[in-house]
A and B are shown apart, each in its own frame.
Chain A
Amino acid sequence: MTSDSPNSKKVTIEFDDQITRWFMVASIGWGVVAMLVGVLIAFQLNFWQMNGKFFEVITFGYFQTDGIQYLTFGRLRPLHTNAAIFAFVGNMMFAGVYYSTQRLCLTRMFSDKLSKIHFWGWQSIIVFAAITLPAGLTRGKEYAELIWPINIMVVVIWVVFALNFFLTLKIRREKSLYVALWFYIATIITVAMLYIVNHLQIPTSLTHAYPVFAGVQDALVQWWYGHNAVAFFLTTPILGIMYYFLPKAANRPVYSYRLSIVHFWSLVFIYIWAGPHHLLNTALPQWLQMLGVFFSLMLWAPSWGGMLNGLLTLRGAWDKLRTEPVIKFFVVGITFYGMSTFEGPLLSIPTVSALAHYTDWIIGHVHSGTLGWNGFMAAGMFYWLAPRLWGKKLWSTNLANMHFWIGLVGILLYVSSLWFAGIIQGLMLNETDATGTRVVNEFVQTVDKISLLMLVRAVGGTLYLVGFVLLVVNIWKTARSGAPVNETREVFEDPAMKKDAMTWKAAFRNEPIALTFWGLFFGILWFFLPPGASHMALLVTLGFVAYAVIQFKKNTQSWSSWYDNLSENYLPFSVLVLIAVVLGGAIQIIPTVTVNRAMNVEDRLQSVYTPLELAGRDIYISEGCYNCHSQMIRTLVPDVLRYGDYSRLGESIYDHPFQWGSKRTGPDLAREGGKRSDSWHYLHMRNPRMNPGSRMPAYPWLFQKETKFKDLPAKVAVQQRLGVPFPIMTPEEIEQHAREQALGIAEGLVAEQVKIEVPKGEKEPGNEAEARDHLAGKEIIAIIAYLQKLGSFEEVVPDDAPEKIEPRIFKPGIPDKQRVKAPSAPAVTSLPDVQPTLATQP
């Protein structure tokens, strides 16, 4: 934008900095909440009393309890992750996006009203989340726990944000889009896509719904979402923020424009494919696991491209590292980005994953990303923004330095203690006796062993929070000493400026696009064509690559001027981003969700839940059991030795949502059914310390709360719509069946003389029949019914030798040799009769 164009006229812009201030303050406030909850749940892992019993101490014994349902790890951990991701980083991202977009487009946001709706909408979503999650209202999928009415709000608010952002691009006074804006575009488009697909569901009530996908399909969609929530919510927007705020703070040009181009496009294209690395060695089809592994490795360089462009921008400005807290935070943040994006591909190697998956190493890994990369980039940005938003110098540079050091020590303690914890626990779990036929350590022993390390982690997290509180003080003092300022700027507007003038034809019909298209087209054929044809497709792909390299060398000039031109046109640019991010997910997910489910069971088919077991399953999900217990025995010897035969695809085929889990703080439960007696479960849920050393919270409320039998018909109806072969039953029959099964279990427990608790003031049951009737309606009975069902299946006999199946063209998953063709799922016509479980033991 220069003043020498003949027709340019001077305009004065007042930027909307109020919205940045709001989002920044919101981010800081929610950040404290998220970290506070994090510290609490970290201590819960060491001291089970932190799940509510500590109230006895702080009320001097007035309040007697073994646990408070709203405070258990299972319910608070989702609150912690959602608050950290969507409230802390989310609001921080919006602050950065609103601030930088206006300046990079040289215009105020398109609509102040939309900005305000976005702000208040987002904060109310967070408030609803903070109420519903501790109340046990959850979808049971990680980072996607919020219930369906809130999901709709999220989508609406995201669309408001997108509309405001893209319309601001449309009215920009700057001809071309700076690299930060590319990253914002990718963020907005991709998050919308991920969020909508992973939240497809059918409600059964105002607060409950079943996801449309089940089992392996749900697992794949979930980790496509989960992995790319990290990619497009915690990485790309922060990279955009880095590209704006780092050169501003360092006052140096960005290191390399072409590195920006190469790493941006490779990052957004490759990231999407890597989701399956969260499911290595599981029942996930092998070809998907392979794609997940190899794309994770390929992701290493694109990720490091961002780190390089950040760190190398500081060449010539390294002296500022000594004096400028902002630069300190940015440098360490970017370094942690580099470290965790190296660690990610490393953890994706199947043999490393075999040791590290389900352990605390993974927790350490994500925290080096969130505390190191997100948290420190946020701090750097806030310290840079505060003086500009309130018109006063930062209150105390020393305090900011202190924040830096305390926070850094906190992260290092956190991450390194969990490296050790994860590796030690992994090795102990895998340890076998001299004969190699048995694992030697009880699960609880392996957790005991890492107790001290987990405590160091909790201390590290606490230090990080202390550092963050210093930021709160510093920003507060700065804001109080100054007053809100909105920057106004005079710019020259050139009415003849030719932005967004590219035709669609010019954007898409050109050499770089054509070669990329054909290269990808044949590359995809290479995956899916039968042997022979696939080799041809690979050769053609390689041919296109070679030709593209030659053409690029020859026509560098026209290729780069096409790209420069493209970056002056926001719509074609955004469409290309959309295509790049759709591909990976489409290729992995569409074959998996469209394949006939009966073809996808391997040799076992899960038994359909009875209504009571379904009720129990929903309680299991609502209590967040999946936060500590997996239901997936991997194809690894130690897993099979410890938990039983490895899990098959068919064994979770009716699970809406899947519960494979991602972390084992307790043992796997995939084959828990029938391993222990009903009375063991009864006593254990009431007092897990019957297993000495256990950290599991006690669940006293399950013995008081009533199972909601009345909700079951609606739930069964939705499951039927989703294709689960429940037998045809009237609503009355469903309820009746559930109640009878509950009575049977209760009768068995009463015969075993279990202790029956009645609330104060209610009358104790007088005889066995009364005790049984009292017990049968309680949630504990439903959850025992579910736990005893886990792992039950029917054998599926292949009616055809697998060798005889010829791979069809485009049949997805052909590379998977272990698949066997199964007859279509047998329709279950009636549920097994409920066995009277009255103890028959002599």
Chain B
Amino acid sequence: MKPSDSNKNDIILKEHVYDGIQEYDQKLPNWWLFTLYITIVWFVFAWVAYYQLPFKMPTPHEKIDSQMALIENKKQEELETMMASINNESLQEMSLDMDHTASGQAIFEAKCIACHGQDLSAMMGGIKLPGVALIDDEWLYGAEPLNIMEIVTNGSPDVTKGMIAWNTQLSPAEIAQVVAYILSKQS
């Protein structure tokens, strides 16, 4: 039976039988066909727009580079503003302020106790943790509050043997609070 011979709305049942299975030969659903066509047209359109038209779209790398440049600038500004407003004395004062030390403690417990211990002794259940004790009188990189601030911000000179830089995770204000908390624990 030729398709053209039959009425368009007739459903064709193919004669052939495979192990009892027969097949209709229904028209393809239009919405299905259009889904297929639209995705193909979209591919051609997008590829041409992206690669083969004169204007240049930014690549993912260019995009991320410019986004990160903005973020770096912002962070630098933030740090400069903060550093202009604090000094050794103001950090010492913060260490007497319960509001600051409480926030500092919360941050310390989330980020620092893995290496420095809950009680700042760098010991956990008799095992020496990777960090140094923060309650003895020994300061490897200077005992002034700003020295401590520097180490928390940028990490120790050789990270594989010491402190990591926290400026990627903590804002300067938060770092100051952590420093205040540590100072408040000094006897």
Binding site for B on A (CB under 8 A): 100, 103-104, 106, 174, 176, 178-179, 244, 247-248, 253-260, 262, 266, 281, 286-287, 290, 294-295, 297-298, 300-302, 304-305, 308, 312, 433, 435-439, 442, 527, 531, 534-535, 538, 556-557, 635-637, 640-641, 644, 646, 674-680, 683, 690-692, 748, 752-755, 788, 815-818, 837, 839-842
Contact = CB atoms under 8 A, between A and B. Distances in A.
A433 B170 CA distance: 10
Interface string B64-77: 10011001001100
Given A174-B18, A435-B74, A691-B114, 16 more contacts: A178-B19, A248-B20, A248-B21, A253-B13, A297-B43, A298-B39, A298-B40, A437-B78, A538-B48, A538-B52, A674-B159, A692-B114, A748-B161, A817-B59, A818-B62, A842-B140
Nearest to B22: A253
Interface in B118-163: 124, 127-130, 140, 159-162
A260 B169 contact: no
A620 B14 CA distance: 58
Given A300-B35, A438-B168, A677 B160 contact: yes
A442 B110 contact: yes
B6 to A, nearest CB: 13
Contacts of B39: 294, 297-298, 300-301
Nearest to A282: B60
A266 B33 CA distance: 12
Nearest to B32: A301
Contacts of A683: 127, 129-130
Interface in B22-61: 22-29, 32-33, 35-36, 39-40, 42-44, 46-48, 50-52, 56, 59-61
A341 to B, nearest CB: 12
A439 B169 contact: yes
Contacts of A753: 128
A272 to B, nearest CB: 15
A362 to B, nearest CB: 20
16 contacts: A253-B22, A254-B22, A255-B26, A260-B23, A308-B29, A433-B171, A436-B71, A442-B110, A557-B4, A636-B64, A676-B160, A690-B114, A690-B124, A691-B114, A692-B114, A842-B140
Nearest to A243: B21
Contacts of B8: none
Nearest to A174: B18
A637 B71 contact: yes
A610 B98 CA distance: 51
A258 B28 contact: yes
A770 B111 CA distance: 35
A676 B74 contact: no
B164 interface: yes
Nearest to B165: A675
A502 to B, nearest CB: 17
A788 B160 CA distance: 8
A79 B19 CA distance: 38
B16 to A, nearest CB: 7
B183 interface: no
Contact of B3 (A260, A556, A841): A556
Contacts of B91: none
A534 B51 CA distance: 10
B21 A244 contact: yes
Nearest to A345: B39
Contacts of B33: 301
Given A256-B28, A788-B160, A286 B67 contact: no
Interface of B: 2-4, 13-14, 16, 18-29, 32-33, 35-36, 39-40, 42-44, 46-48, 50-52, 56, 59-64, 67-68, 71, 74-75, 78, 110-111, 113-115, 124, 127-130, 140, 159-162, 164, 168-171
Best-surrounded residue of B44, B50, B62, B64 (most CB of chain A within 10 A): B64
A442 B111 contact: yes
Contact of A253 (B24, B51, B62): B24
Contacts of B110: 442
Given A435-B78, A435-B171, A675-B159, A752 B128 contact: yes
A305 B29 CA distance: 9
Contact of B164 (A300, A438, A538, A676): A676
A520 to B, nearest CB: 13
B64 A640 contact: yes
A200 to B, nearest CB: 30
Contact of B161 (A258, A286, A839): A839
A635 B24 contact: no
A641 B71 contact: yes
A295 B47 CA distance: 12
Nearest to B16: A176
A328 to B, nearest CB: 21
Contacts of B162: 677, 841
B44 A538 contact: yes
B75 A437 contact: yes
Nearest to B64: A635
A677 B36 contact: no
A38 B24 CA distance: 41
Contacts of B2: 557
A673 B59 CA distance: 28
A840 B68 CA distance: 36
Nearest to B110: A442
B187 to A, nearest CB: 22
A266 B32 CA distance: 13
Nearest to B68: A640
Nearest to B44: A538
B11 to A, nearest CB: 9
Given A308-B29, A677-B160, A531 B52 contact: yes
Contacts of B46: 290, 294
Given A433-B171, A635-B63, A676-B159, A535 B128 contact: no
Contact of B71 (A106, A437, A646): A437
Given A248-B21, A281-B60, A294-B47, A680 B130 contact: yes
A3 to B, nearest CB: 13
A439 B71 CA distance: 12
A299 to B, nearest CB: 8
Given A253-B22, A752-B128, A818-B59, A298 B160 contact: no
A67 to B, nearest CB: 17
B114 A298 contact: no
A253 B35 contact: no
B164 to A, nearest CB: 6
Nearest to B72: A437
Contact of A304 (B32, B42, B60): B32
A678 B52 contact: no
Contacts of A301: 32-33, 35-36, 39
B19 A754 contact: no
Nearest to A246: B21
Contact of B50 (A255, A290, A527, A752): A290
Contacts of B52: 531, 534-535, 538
B28 A259 contact: yes
Contact of B21 (A254, A636, A679, A690): A254
A297 B19 contact: no
A464 to B, nearest CB: 31
Nearest to A175: B16
A672 to B, nearest CB: 11
The 8 closest A-B pairs by CB, nearest first: A301-B36, A256-B26, A294-B43, A253-B22, A680-B130, A178-B18, A635-B60, A103-B19
B78 to A, nearest CB: 7
Contacts of A691: 114
Best-surrounded residue of A294, A442, A815 (most CB of chain B within 10 A): A294
Contacts of A295: 43
Nearest to A643: B168
A383 to B, nearest CB: 19
Contacts of A262: 28
